[in-house]
Structure 1
Amino acid sequence: MQIKKHEYAAINVVKSALTYERFSEPEALMADVQRETESARSIAHNGWWNALASMPGLGADIGALQHVTDILNDLALQTLPEYARAFRQVDVKSMFSEGALNAQPLVDVTPALKSANMSLSQRLREYRSVSCPRLGVLASAFRAGEKALESADRYASMLTDTVLPNVQQWLGYDGKQTYAVLAMTPAEMRGSGGLVGAVGTVAVDHGRIHIGEFQNNSDFSEKKATNVNKDEYALYQLDGPLHLRYDVRDVTNAPSTQRVAQLFENIWKQSEMGKNTDLSGVILADPVVVQSLVKASGDVVLTDGKVLTGSNTAEYLMNTVYLERPSTETNQVFGEVAKICVSRLTSHLNTGTLKTLLKDLNMLTRYRHLAAYSFNPALEKVLAEFGLTATVPNKTTEPEIGIYTTEKNPSKMDWYVKRSTTIQQINCESNAAAYHVEYTISNTVTWDEVDTLPPYISSYTKKYPQRKGMSMETIVFYPPAGGRLSNFSVEGGGSVPTTGALEWRQIYHTFVELQPEQTVTYSFDVNVSKDAVQKLEVDETPSGNETNDIRYAYLCPVG
């Protein structure tokens, strides 16, 4: 259907801006939207469609479609140019000076942006006044357009009502902002990412970003979080074989970024770093983030001559460094590379550099390589809206299961652990969708390879020689919000998950010992909320790969 094709094309153009792919091409983007909406409007009002609009029954659906194409075309021709005129007033070059960012030129156009917002909100009200077509293919196109307009209206309002009134404060013009950076390594998994190997600071002061030294986790070893709750204690401290201490290494075990921030802030206040400095927020970053920084800023040459690039950095920091360098040096390498990259970026801050970074931002946040939490409520609202604050499944309309893993064998064996999820929808006629899920976890290291690994990776000790090369995982399964999990079974070893509680939610948890070359598969059914409007997704502890291995064996037809 040509109308649907053009409307979806216009929506995708807008999405490309919202996902950072074309944010610096406003004029070309506007022209593309106008071309697609005008094509859709022309088709909807040709003789054949006008004739259909006069027919009983079907005519109401066609009339609704014609009305919608008029609204979207008016938005493209009248509302978008208002935004373009507002942004043309911004002197972008004046926003970047000697490594500092000054957002005042953008703040100054707030009145013009608010005027454009009123036009956008009016288009949305007009759209909502149209009755949704009954015909499936038309209804799906109608709902997609409404969702895109709602997103645009929400983001535009957030820009003028929350971001612009506060951005100068967030940039440190009203006082320095200090964030802790927790450098994680998924080579030893914790729920939100990996064990914290080093802690650094990022201070924002009058638009300039200052990177502090990264301190080894051993500098915090005597400080433990005193706000561990009873559920965390029972599952991760009381249960072995490794009893988490909840010193700085383990705060990232919580799957929600807010909870990580609460645990770390407790330790921060006990530390020398935190005695005279209030913490503004917490940033979680793993080696895939550093790899993106290297990609944006250029190759990094380490003191030993090793060259890190935009494609080999993550593997180096999660595996190669443990093969080539003493274990006493490994945690500092992350900080060394990160500091070099950020120093380069801040000293040459410009729109081109930002564009390169923003291209990876969606991937980094979607797959939990990068997360952040701010103790400033206004800023946290923005971080959460753009997916920077990771949570356990909490949206009934956007169903997902959560699968979070904790390594209970002190090692770096999780680099060799590969995970995949296969999803099959099993009902196509019920109001609430149901799925069958198979979650497979494999220890890919071979028995021959184990003998070549350093003890720091393989966890070999004379006291516990049987742990050598083994991955020992506590796995937690969260049901989708408003849904449930059922009918668990397991193949290849391990035990069937049992019910429990964590962060005021029902969960299922299990423990598995993965020997070299062993694969275990957990199978279960998922029922989602009747309010769900999209397919089931998976949120899980990140790996060394940029994305997760999720496959859909079957999904019911839509429309």
Structure 2
Amino acid sequence: MPRHLQSALDADYSYDYASDTVHRKHPALKRLVAVLVVIVLLALAVGVAATYYSYRRLTKQAEQVASLEQDALAAMTAGGSGSRADYLDALKTNLSTAQDKANQANGIVSGDLWTFYSHISGYRDDVATMRQMAATMLSLANDTLPRYTTVLDGMESQQLYNGDGSLNVTPITDASTNVGTLNATVKAGFDQILAMTPPRDAALFESFENIVSGFSSVTDQLSTLSGMFEYLPNFLASDGTARTYIILAQASGTALAAGGPVETMGWMAVANGAFTMGDFYASEYWIADAGLNDVTADEKNLFSTISGIDYGSSVSTISANPNFPSVADQANDFWKNTDFAGGGGSADGVISFDPYALQKLVAITGDITLDDGTKLTADGTAEFLMNGIYDSVDSDSFATYYSSIVTKIVTAAFSDLTLSKVLTLSDTLVECASGRHAYLWSFHEDDQKTLRETRLAGNVNTDAANPVVGIYNEQKHNAAMDWYLHRISTVQKTGANTYHVTFGLNNTLGSAVGMSSAIVGDSNDGVGVGHQLQRMFVYTPAGATISNLTVQSGAEVQTVTVNATTVYTFQTDIGMAATDSIEFDVTCTPGSSDLRLDQTPDASGQSGITYDYGA
């Protein structure tokens, strides 16, 4: 084909040599196809961008929801470290804030964006979970908590006794029923959240986890502070059937795992809200070896063989066991087998006070003057009973003197009761129980669940869903050094269900010059004067494992089993102004609540525990 003709054809035509045929090209069609391709690509790009933008909005709003609901939860729990009255005052002050935050969070998840994503496969269930959580939070803030404050506030204006002197049961039982119903409502809401499928989207899941953790704190707070209300009718024997409570007084200047040696034990009876105080007897008067039948082989191995305590042989050593229900069983054994007390019969429960708790009772009764003129006050009783008393009386008279002090304090606390005083006493017991300064255990099974929830039971952790690591100590030096022993610890969350625990014992005594040997020890007993010779026990949380346990001092660690719980134990000698510490990792059951730490009570009344669960 001539070149000029070929050039002309190249513009709009093509020539097929085989068939000697000329074909017309379609440049407009090509351009149209190209334009359509570009349009489709642009549409896809715009769609992707819009989807990404809407997802970013969703995650940002999820973060807002989490922040708002955490603020609401913080307002609901503010003041919870104090008494019931403190918590109620704080709750009434902060309730409007909690309601505002919960309303804002609910408004966000009810918006159009969330409705759009509720129709998208893969997000439908996630949105439903977040909406249900917001609705539960809204109900808690707007309905349950206002009724809670109304019930507890209404108790203050009631009278404990009728005009004829009989117990006015109605306000107590009504409040108990109402509080029980409200607690059940809160727990049901929390259980409903836990039963929902956690969001699969990472951003929504993080928000969900943070809110669940905070909600768990609220349920614990309400159970702890209101649980005693549910128990009050039974505690006061409001049905007219008399109850007898064994009273233990621990002298925790020398530490044992649950507090200190039981220097004196007594009892009181109650019927229809009227208490009758029995007598207190020093530990030496209670029949020997009465508790041995309730000592398991595991307990004998740890507390007697390894630690060297005559566990079960003397009432003074029963608090070597950190599990207070077992301590209570032992106390009841001594009670039943001593003629001047139970005489073969069982008590209904056991109450225990350490010096810090006794000081809290003095704060209720007002100052108490002893027969020798010593004045016990709301500020100085604990220090006197843990430290100063050892300069006031010799060792032969100590238990009898301690008995006389406890008799005065406990008698004053449970005399001349009004409903306000009963509520203050219950607040004090619950507050002290949080640091293991007071315990209350009932041998009636229908009471025990409530007492565990208020932590008054002082039991070793058996609930894998709510893990608690126990770190307890026992003073092996023949000295009352616990006043100078401070505990400092951190529980740091390192993963979804993993934690790193650091626990330190600090001997704050800098010099023993001029101090009584009853406090700082004797140079002839093989341990340095002013030293803290401590036997340590680390109790593994239920359903968890402990790993990588190290001791700063290099002490040898033994591993034993105590009633199905793995316990790590070692002995450490801490010199004056010195510290020893331990570190370990804990892996808890997946889905469990945040790990807590339980310990032998600190003389200062402060736990020294820092929880770092992250953002």
TM-score range, shorter chain: 0.7 to 0.9
* Matching residue of 2:600: 541
Answering whether residue 209 of structure 2 is matched by residue 209 of structure 1, we say no
* Match status 1:252 vs 2:319: yes
CA–CA distance in structure 2, aligned partners of residues 129 and 173 of structure 1: 39
- Paired position in structure 2 for 1:54: 116
Q: Taking structure 1 as reference, are residues 67 and 508 closer, same or farther at Cα in structure 2, changes over 3 Å only? A: closer
Q: Deviations over 1:446-477 (max 9, x none)?
A: 4x51x523333344386x46564444322111
**Stretch of structure 1 that moved more, 11-20 or 393-402:** 11-20
Q: 3-state SS of the aligned residue for 1:367? A: coil
- Give the aligned partner of residue 394 of structure 2: 326
The Cα shift of 1:376 comes to 0.7
Contact 1:102 1:168 in 2 (8 A): no
Q: Which stretches in structure 2 are left out of the alignment for 5+ residues?
A: 1-62
Greater C-alpha Rg: 2
Aligned match of 1:507 = 567
2:276 & 2:255 partners in 1: Cα distance? 29
1:383 aligns with 2:451: yes
**RMSD of aligned Cα (Å):** 4.2
Q: Secondary structure of the equivalent of 2:158? A: helix
Distance in 2 (alpha carbons) for counterparts of 1:389 and 1:118: 20
1:208, distance to aligned residue in structure 2 (A): 1.0
Q: Where does residue 264 of structure 2 map in the other structure?
A: 198
Does structure 1 conserve the Cα–Cα contact (< 8 Å) formed by 2:480 and 2:519?
yes
Residue 546 of structure 2 is aligned to residue 478 of structure 1: no
Cα deviation, residue 247, structure 1: 0.5
Q: Between Structure 1 and Structure 2, how many residues are aligned?
A: 544
Deviations 1:94-113 (A, max 9, x none): 33469975323443688888
Q: Which residue of 2 aligns with 1:139?
A: 208
1:520 maps to amino acid: D
How much has 1:196 moved relative to structure 2? 0.8
Equivalent residue, structure 2, for 1:291: 359
Structure 1 residues 368-417: Cα deviation after superposition (integer angstroms, max 9, x where no partner): 11112111111122211211111223232333321122223333123333
Which of 512, 516, 519 in structure 2 is aligned with 1:457? 519
State the one-letter code of the partner of 2:545.
R
Match of 2:434 in 1: 366
Q: Which moved more, 1:246-255 or 1:319-328?
A: 319-328
CA contact (8 A) 2:269 2:276 kept: yes
User: For residues 150 and 185 of structure 1, what CA distance do their matches in structure 2 show?
Assistant: 34
Report how far residue 266 of structure 1 moved.
1.8
Contact kept in structure 1, 2:355 and 2:382, CA below 8 Å: yes
CA distance in 1, matches of 2:407, 2:472: 29
Q: 1:305 aligns with which of 373, 378, 384?
A: 373
Secondary structure of residue in 2 paired with 1:93:
coil
Q: Distance in 1 between matches of 2:218 and 2:613?
A: 26
Letter in 2 for 1:300: I
1:433 to 493, 498, 501: 498
Shift of 1:275: 0.3
Q: How does 1:12-411 map to 2 (within 5 A)?
A: 12=74, 14-15=76-77, 21=83, 33=95, 36-37=98-99, 40-41=102-103, 44-45=106-107, 49-51=111-113, 53-55=115-117, 65=130, 68-70=133-135, 72-73=137-138, 92-96=157-161, 101-107=167-173, 133=199, 134=201, 135-136=204-205, 138-140=207-209, 142-143=211-212, 147=216, 167=233, 171=237, 173-220=239-286, 222-227=288-293, 228-239=295-306, 246-272=313-339, 273-275=341-343, 277-354=345-422, 356-411=424-479
Comparing 255-264 with 22-31, greater Cα deviation is found at 22-31
**Match status 1:526 vs 2:586:** yes
Task: Note if contact 2:198-2:205 (Cα within 8 Å) is conserved in structure 1.
Answer: no
1:481 partner letter: A
Q: Is the 8 A contact 1:300 1:309 kept in 2?
A: yes
1:50 and 1:502 mapped to 2: Cα distance?
A: 57
Worse overlay, 233-242 or 362-371: 233-242
In the TM superposition, residue 264 of structure 1 has moved relative to its aligned partner by: 1.9
* Contact 1:294–1:310 (Cα < 8 Å) also in 2: yes
- Structure 1 residue 343: Cα displacement: 3.7
CA distance in structure 1 between the partners assigned to 2:476 and 2:428 by the alignment: 31
How much has 1:187 moved relative to structure 2? 1.5
Q: Percent identity?
A: 23
1:287–1:334 contact (8 Å) kept in structure 2: no
Change in CA separation of 1:274 and 1:519 when aligned onto 2, cut-off 3 Å: same
Note the C-alpha offset of 1:317: 0.4
State the AA in 1 paired with 2:173: V
Over 3 Å counting, the alpha-carbon distance change for 1:158 and 1:22 in structure 2 is closer
CA distance in 1, matches of 2:353, 2:156: 32
The residue type paired with residue 479 of structure 1 is: T
Query: Which residue identity is paired with 2:471?
Result: I
Distance across 1 between alignment mates of 2:458 and 2:356: 16
* RCO comparison, higher one (Cα < 8 Å, 6+): 1
Q: Is the CA contact (8 Å cut-off) linking 2:76 and 2:218 kept in structure 1?
A: no
Question: Secondary structure of the equivalent of 1:531?
Answer: coil
User: C-alpha offsets along residues 114-164 of structure 1, whole Å, 9 cap, x if unaligned?
Assistant: 98789879977987897655414541465357647866998999899x758
Determine if contact 1:52/1:59 at 8 Å carries over to the other structure: no
Deviation at 1:290, TM superposition (A): 0.7
Displacement after TM superposition at 1:192 (Å): 1.0
Distance 1:58 1:419, change over 3 A: same
Distance 1:475 1:14 in 2: 37
Q: Determine the C-alpha separation between the residues in 1 that align with 2:542 and 2:412.
A: 42
**Residues 20 and 358 in structure 1, CA contact (< 8 A), matched pair in contact too:** no
CA contact 1:104–1:168 (8 Å) conserved in 2: no
Query: Following TM superposition, by how much is the alpha carbon of 1:8 offset from its aligned partner in structure 2, in angstroms?
Result: 4.2
Give the CA deviation at 1:252. Answer: 0.9
1:6, CA displacement in angstroms?
5.2
Judging changes above 3 Å, is the alpha-carbon distance between structure 1 residues 217 and 157 closer, same or farther for their aligned structure 2 residues? closer
User: 2:384 and 2:458 mapped to 1: Cα distance?
Assistant: 26
The aligned residue for residue 609 of structure 2 is 550
Give, as a single letter, the amino acid of the residue that structure 2 aligns with 1:213: D
